[in-house]
Structure 1
Amino acid sequence: MSVLRHLISVSGEESDISSLAVELDLQVVTESNDELALRWSSGQLSLHFPNQQQGDVLVDFDNGAMQYRVKHGGGFGQAVAKACALSPRVLPSVLDMTAGLGRDGFVLASLGCDVTLVERQPIVHALLADGLRRAESSLDSRNIVRRISLRRGDSSELVGQQYEVVYVDPMFPERKKSAAVKKEMAAFHQLVGTDEDADLLLAKALEFATHRVVVKRPKGAPFLADRKPSQSLTGKSGRFDIYALRSMAADKFKSSVDE
């Protein structure tokens, strides 16, 4: 796990990030030679690699790939929507216990679900909060963001709260062939390591869910806590393990997407 110490400001906007630097206990600098640093430039926050050639990692819900997925990714027919049993008449409340960069949660919100994102790693939370902030002023994304709430901390802080669907996507050990790993995943491994308590996350998810728990896993990975799911949806490289607790009857959910 890498220690991140610096928040780089390259645009003379140090005052805009002073409170964030204090919150994250980071030193504001104009340059850094560390392995990892946060970077503030042109009103956006990113994870920066001072000694590497790869580009920064940031949360951008308006980039081409994300918008293509939202508009042309298959809608209710895509795997994450099927795993969560979504349809135009079944739009459950969703808790994403391991939000990360928030992409799956954003897709679920784009289909009409009210989504609560929880992220316990402070740096990742800051990146996600910045991405949501920028999306609020975007014509393409602002209506979607209105259905998303973000919380920082461990899921244990959600005692007593329940959601119809709970989604879990724990970090898993980095593959040996690191060249095949996307830069975002490699950066996350550097920053946060793996979720060694992944089995406990499943137990918590089953407490919070009223209808189903959905766990995203690599295709050949073992079941969390060695607990066999009700069913699995398997793709080329990954799968969704579904723990069904109650029927997802259409008349129990919202029946329209906000315009």
Structure 2
Amino acid sequence: MKNTEDSVGAALLGVACGEASLAPEAEGWAQRLQLPYLGPQAPREMAPGGLLVWLDHQGLALRVTGRGAPGPVIVDFSGGKAAFRRLHGGGRGQLVAKAVGLSRARRIPSVLDATAGLGQDAFVLATLGCSMLLLERSPVVHALLEDGLARASQDPELAPIIARMKLQAADAAGYLEAAEEVADVVYLDPMFPHRGQQSALVKKEMRVFRDLVGDDLDADRLLPAALQAARCRVVVKRPRKAPPLAGPAPSHALEGKSSRYDLYTLRALD
């Protein structure tokens, strides 16, 4: 995920918490993230439009200040969309599972998720048995994901899944360019630039996310680096009508209702 001073500095106010008992932990996050510590706050009563790294008893989140702001963005693997996909998502029949080769492979591939974000697709693949290495370059997004993984690891039902997910702070392009055959599959899901009025249709959570990380303006650098680092294939998730990333044409594509998976096959998984 993109993280630059221009895209973050104007909106990100600092780290705050919901009550005084959480102050030591919140202050620790502020020091780690090199952000101002704002103490206990009432985000709804603050000037609208700012972004907080917010800590309450639910966990670490990204929150917009002001009345009527969208709800917090938090990594939660135990409930919501993640739980639904784990229990009712369709297993190896899901498009992302087919894209990485799970539907036909005789062995379960290792996957490097080079643009981890909130870890949703990585969690699905880990649920299906894949060993996952997650890269995230935004310090704040990395912190949200680290906190979500830590909370989920305390759930006996989720702990074996989380054990297959290793998180690393790294810039994806630089990491891949310096690596050779880091995993069977390299998975890319770069933030797609919004197009005029279409941005109004983006979900509230993703609008908040964009306020923090911006667009992945260097996304076209990722594909050649991924092709160098993958043993068997590269998978790129795109909006269904978006053009492929710059570079060689995909070997194949899988289309869903809103997303498309471009597959670049190097060799058979088996």
Whether the aligned pair in 2 keeps the contact of 1:174 and 1:189 (CA below 8 Å) is no
**Residue of structure 2 aligned with 1:138, choices 130, 138, 155:** 155
Deviation at 1:43, TM superposition (A): 5.4
Whether the aligned pair in 2 keeps the contact of 1:167 and 1:215 (CA below 8 Å) is yes
Whether the aligned pair in 1 keeps the contact of 2:15 and 2:27 (CA below 8 Å) is no
State the match for 2:267 in structure 1.
246
User: Which has the larger displacement, 96-105 or 63-72?
Assistant: 63-72
Give the whole-Å Cα distance in 1 for the aligned partners of 2:237 and 2:76.
22
Deviation at 1:90, TM superposition (A): 2.6
Count of equivalent residues = 249
State the match for 1:160 in structure 2.
179
Give the whole-Å Cα distance in 2 for the aligned partners of 1:134 and 1:47.
16
State the match for 1:256 in structure 2.
none
Deviation at 1:165, TM superposition (A): 0.2
Give the whole-Å Cα distance in 1 for the aligned partners of 2:263 and 2:89.
21
Give the whole-Å Cα distance in 1 for the aligned partners of 2:58 and 2:255.
39
RMSD: 1.6
Q: Deviations along 1:95-141, whole A, 9 cap, x unmatched?
A: 00000000000000000010000000111111000100100001331
Confirm whether residue 37 of structure 1 aligns to residue 45 of structure 2.
no
State the match for 1:21 in structure 2.
30
Whether the aligned pair in 1 keeps the contact of 2:224 and 2:247 (CA below 8 Å) is no
State the match for 1:149 in structure 2.
166
State the match for 1:47 in structure 2.
62
Give the whole-Å Cα distance in 2 for the aligned partners of 1:64 and 1:198.
29
Confirm whether residue 74 of structure 1 aligns to residue 93 of structure 2.
no
State the match for 2:73 in structure 1.
57
TM-score where L is the length of structure 2: 0.88
| SS of alignment partner, residue 260 of structure 2 | strand
Deviation at 1:81, TM superposition (A): 0.3
Whether the aligned pair in 2 keeps the contact of 1:39 and 1:47 (CA below 8 Å) is yes
Whether the aligned pair in 1 keeps the contact of 2:111 and 2:132 (CA below 8 Å) is yes
| Structure 1: gaps spanning 5 or more residues | 250-259
State the match for 1:107 in structure 2.
124
Deviation at 1:42, TM superposition (A): 1.0
State the match for 1:255 in structure 2.
none
Deviation at 1:53, TM superposition (A): 2.5
Give the whole-Å Cα distance in 2 for the aligned partners of 1:90 and 1:184.
35
Q: Percent identity?
A: 46
Give the whole-Å Cα distance in 2 for the aligned partners of 1:164 and 1:178.
34
| SS of alignment partner, residue 240 of structure 1 | strand
Q: Deviations along 1:14-59, whole A, 9 cap, x unmatched?
A: 1113232112111222235361111011151000111243111100
Whether the aligned pair in 1 keeps the contact of 2:186 and 2:233 (CA below 8 Å) is yes
Deviation at 1:11, TM superposition (A): 1.8
Deviation at 1:2, TM superposition (A): 3.7
Give the whole-Å Cα distance in 1 for the aligned partners of 2:222 and 2:250.
15
Letter aligned with residue 261 of structure 2:
F
Deviation at 1:142, TM superposition (A): 1.0
Confirm whether residue 94 of structure 1 aligns to residue 111 of structure 2.
yes
Letter aligned with residue 18 of structure 1:
E
Letter aligned with residue 131 of structure 1:
G
User: Which has the larger displacement, 106-115 or 66-75?
Assistant: 66-75
State the match for 1:252 in structure 2.
none
Whether the aligned pair in 2 keeps the contact of 1:14 and 1:28 (CA below 8 Å) is no
State the match for 2:203 in structure 1.
182
Whether the aligned pair in 1 keeps the contact of 2:190 and 2:216 (CA below 8 Å) is yes
State the match for 1:223 in structure 2.
244
Give the whole-Å Cα distance in 1 for the aligned partners of 2:157 and 2:69.
31
Confirm whether residue 85 of structure 1 aligns to residue 97 of structure 2.
no
Deviation at 1:163, TM superposition (A): 0.6
Give the whole-Å Cα distance in 2 for the aligned partners of 1:62 and 1:179.
29
Confirm whether residue 171 of structure 1 aligns to residue 191 of structure 2.
yes
| SS of alignment partner, residue 99 of structure 1 | coil
| SS of alignment partner, residue 242 of structure 2 | coil
| SS of alignment partner, residue 37 of structure 1 | strand
Deviation at 1:226, TM superposition (A): 4.5
Deviation at 1:178, TM superposition (A): 3.5
